[in-house]
Amino acid sequence: MTSMLDAVVVGAGPNGLTAAVELARRGFSVSVFEAKETVGGGARTEELTLPGFRHDPCSAVHPLGIGSPVFRTMPLAEYGLDWLHPELPMAHPFDDGTAAVLSRSVAETAASFGPRDAGAYRRLVAPFLGKWDSFAADFMSLPLTALPRDPLTLARFGLVGLPPSTWLMRRFRDDRARALFAGLVAHVIAPLGGFATGAVGLVFALAAHANGWPMPRGGSQSISDALAAYLRALGGTVHTGYEVKRLDDLPPARAYVFDTSPTALARIAGLGRAYDGYRYGASVFKIDYALDGPVPWTAEEPRRAGTVQIGPSSREIGTALRRASGGQPPDTPFLITAQPSLVDPSRAPEGKHVFWAYGHVPNGWQGDFTTSMERQIERFAPGFRDRVLARATAGPRELAERNPNYIGGDIACGAASGLQLLLRSKLSLSPYTTSHPAVFLCSSATPPGPGVHGMSGHNAAKEVWRRLRQV
Ligand SMILES: Cc1cc2nc3c(=O)[nH]c(=O)nc-3n(C[C@H](O)[C@H](O)[C@H](O)COP(=O)(O)OP(=O)(O)OC[C@H]3O[C@@H](n4cnc5c(N)ncnc54)[C@H](O)[C@@H]3O)c2cc1C
């Protein structure tokens, strides 16, 4: 007879693996069950196009990963995780051939916004500089899974961040800073006028100044592989190719921790209509390119940036987000693009490159966005199309097939709008627990939400180890 496990984790995404590690390192017996043949969820790397081109089908750039309070407590470098920094974290080109940048340096960033807004930017970020470690631990542990270490900075952040990002952008007189900021908010597909969207933009900017926006050597799979290797070293086990459909599919355990959507959790654990009110949001259309050479950007800055945002004005970015969230594909898409092989030659054959791009489209949308997206890229990098050797495209349906957490292709596992941006997956001080005392939720449908940072896994694990120590 098999002995009872302390915890079973369903799903080997960054949050599931983190939850498993956090329990294993506290002496609990843990097994992870993953539907796919490989671990990683949204942090994977695959040869999607041609041999030797190593693409990230989902996440590529990791400002929240390098700055994650929980990853920092783990010896992931010993298991192969090596962060590579592009010269510039991010560039945002404009039609006049210039670009604003998000640099590690506040001065360089402020200067790129122009003289009328440089001071406003410096004043915006100044109260938070040098405080990332306590500040990130505080806001990524909301709602109150830990007492704030620096309540004053957290309160200050709340004052600036809780109003809509459009308020924050009013501090700027010109559109260069506004457009760059609007683009930052779009990383979580939040409409710009939404509650707490200022916080989203500010966090990404502060992350660049604190730790940069790096990419792992070898691709995002390295994060997942390092987490899984560390878990095994701690005595945990990982089973792949094992889709969990019912609780009975799992070995007996004292706790079941789900790195899944709330919808799947309710179905698998028989929680009835517990999450019927949970809303899913817009999706993306993702293209992975194999290129014959680097992207021929007109502006100089994007040629040395890891991430390039493509959205010529804050108004166009706002319209694109509104349309995608409202059910229509944007005429002019806003694109987030990444250039991993600029810093990591192991990602493509010599002289060649991988290039990663996505634009926002409505949930469940079935069209082809390739032409619209490439028209926008050509606008800032004429000749781009001539460099394309191969492309792999994935719309909402393909994304949902790749990962059941992306319902209708929603890569944030739940709309990041309204109160649901902060209070996911239900209005509760304990979003990780459920009506079943042995069942927990640890995916990005819980705070602090989307991104490869493992903090939902850490916060959920904390609830689990408290419960396991009680009984
Ligand atoms: C195109 C795209 C681009 C992105 N870009 C970035 C980026 O650059 N930076 C960043 O930080 N984030 C990015 N993200 C978001 C990031 O990938 C996610 O927020 C993150 O992976 C969420 O982690 P998770 O552990 O909650 O869930 P996931 O990573 O989605 O993992 C869930 C896992 O559970 C498994 N699973 C689900 N149901 C079952 C079941 N019933 N039985 C067994 N296994 C199951 C799935 O197969 C999957 O492996 C991107 C996402 C996408 C799709």
CA–centroid distance, residue 109 to ligand 1 (Å): 31
Q: How far apart are CA 96 and CA 70, in angstroms?
A: 42
Task: Reply yes or no on whether the pLDDT at 277 is more than 80.
Answer: yes
pLDDT digits (tens, 9 = 90+) for 386-407: 999 999 999 999 999 999 999 9
Are the C-beta atoms of 240 and 38 separated by less than 8 Å?
yes
Q: Which residues of 80-99 are buried (b: 16+ CB within 10 A; e: fewer)?
A: ebebbebebbbbbbbeeeeb
The pLDDT of residue 363 is: 94
List beta partners, residue 253. 5
Q: State whether the Cα torsion 362-167-97-89 is positive or negative.
A: negative
The SS3 call for residue 10 is strand
Q: Strand 305-310 to strand 88-93: parallel, antiparallel, or no bridges (unpaired)?
A: parallel
Q: Are strands 439-441 and 5-10 parallel, antiparallel or unpaired?
A: unpaired
> What is the separation of C-alpha 252 from the centre of its chain, rounded to a whole number of angstroms?
32
Distance 44 CA to ligand 1 centre (A): 9
Please report the pLDDT score of residue 422 as a whole number.
Answer: 73
Q: Give the CA angle between residues 158, 100, 209 to the nearest 5°.
A: 45
Q: What is the pLDDT of residues 407-442, one digit of tens each?
A: 999 998 888 777 777 777 776 778 999 999 999 999
Residue 277 φ/ψ, nearest 5 degrees: -80, -5
**Cβ–ligand 1 contact at 36 (below 6 Å):** yes
Look at residue 148 in the predicted model and tell me its pLDDT.
86
Residues 6+ apart with CB under 8 A from 303: 294, 295, 297
What is the tens place of the pLDDT at every residue in 251-272? 999 999 999 999 999 999 999 8
Q: Which ligand 1 atom is the nearest neighbour of the CA of 39? A: 49
261 lines ligand 1 (CB under 6 A): no
Spacing, Cα 99 to ligand 1 middle (Å):
31
Alpha carbon of 157 to ligand 1 centroid (Å): 27
Burial readout 314-334 (b: 16 or more C-beta within 10 A, e: otherwise):
bebbbbbbbbbbeeebbebbb
Element holding 152 (H helix, E strand): helix 151-161
User: Looking at the predicted structure, is the pLDDT value of residue 163 above 90?
Assistant: no
If pLDDT is split at 50, 70 and 90, which confidence band does 467 have? Answer: very high
pLDDT tens for 305-339 read 999 999 999 999 999 999 999 899 999 999 999 99
Q: Is the CB of 61 under 6 A from ligand 1?
A: yes
The answer, yes or no, to whether any atom of ligand 1 lies below 6 A from the CB of 410, is no
Q: Looking at residue 2, what is its pLDDT?
A: 58
Closest by CA position to 374, among listed 402, 407, 335? 335
59 lines ligand 1 (CB under 6 A): yes
- Report the Cα–Cα distance between both ends of the chain, in Å, rounded: 22
43 CA from centroid of ligand 1 (Å): 7
Q: Is residue 145 scored above 80 in pLDDT? A: no
Distance 13 CA to ligand 1 centre (A): 5
Q: Using a 6 Å cutoff on CB, does residue 396 contact ligand 1?
A: no
Q: Is the CB of 316 under 6 A from ligand 1?
A: no
Pinpoint the alpha helices (H) of 170-237: 175-186, 197-211, 221-233
- pLDDT category at 1 given cuts 50, 70, 90 is very low
Residue 352 Cα to ligand 1 middle (Å): 28
pLDDT of residue 121: 97
Q: CA–CA separation, 350 vs 356, rounded Å?
A: 18
Distances (CA, A) of 276 to 73, 262, 273, 449: 36, 9, 5, 19
Residues 415, 401, 349, 345: is their CA dihedral positive or negative?
A: positive
pTM: 0.97
Query: Given CA atoms 426, 430, 435, 438 in this order, what sign does their dihedral have?
Result: positive
Q: Is the CB of 13 under 6 A from ligand 1?
A: yes
The pLDDT, as a whole number, for residue 471 is 73
**Is there a contact between 454 and 76 (Cβ–Cβ < 8 Å)?**
no
Q: Is 201 in the pocket of ligand 1 (CB under 6 A)?
A: no
For residues 43-49, give the mean pLDDT: 98
Question: Can you tell me the distance from the alpha carbon of 83 to that of 65, in angstroms, rounded to the nearest whole number?
Answer: 10
Across the chain, what does the average pLDDT equal? 94
Q: Decide: 401 and 36 in contact? Cβ < 8 Å.
A: no
Ligand 1 touching residue 443 (CB < 6 A):
yes
Among residues 139, 145, 141, the alpha carbon closest in space to that of 199 is found at 139
Tokens 């081109």, located at residue:
53
Which burial class, exposed, middle or buried, applies to 369 when counting CB atoms under 10 A from its CB (0-12, 13-18, 19+)? buried
Residue with the smallest CA separation from ligand 1 atom 11 is 451
Please report the domains of the chain, with CATH numbers, ordered by start residue. 5-46+61-82+217-278+415-470 (3.50.50.60)
Mean pLDDT of 163-180: 94
